[in-house]
Amino acid sequence: MDVRVTLDGHPVEATLNGSPAARDLASLLPLRLDLEDFHGTERIADPPRELTTDGAPEPVAAKAGDLAYYAPWGNLALFYRDGPAASADLLVIGHLDTDADRLAGARRLTIEAAS
């Protein structure tokens, strides 16, 4: 799924995958989320509600640029470094094509439906 994404007001190329969690996130658009750092690996934010985890794909380890949903806490994670080993609790739902430094310093994430 194509979406329009900005980090701190600067557009970045991004896509959501076709997973049920990604489609559920798309149903909440537009979203404007404040990001905070977590463990020197990812920027996190809370969507307005929990996303579905039904039909989740096989777990994969998150890579830099991945947008993921961490089900136990109900938060979105935007990885600027490769994440830990694959976990059934972490659902990769999309990817942003930008450099790690931009991801690491991001304070605001905006996701909108592509027109």
CATH topology of domain 3-113: Cyclophilin (2.40.100)
Alpha-carbon distance 40 to 21, whole Å?
25
pLDDT at residue 82 is higher than 80: yes
3: confidence class by pLDDT, cuts 50, 70, 90: very high
- For residue range 103-114, list pLDDT tens digits in order: 999 999 999 999
pLDDT for position 115: 76
Cα 71 to Cα 4, 22, 74, 115: the distances in Å are 24, 13, 5, 29
pLDDT for position 30: 97
**Average pLDDT of span 41-55:** 96
- For residue range 61-75, list pLDDT tens digits in order: 999 999 999 999 999
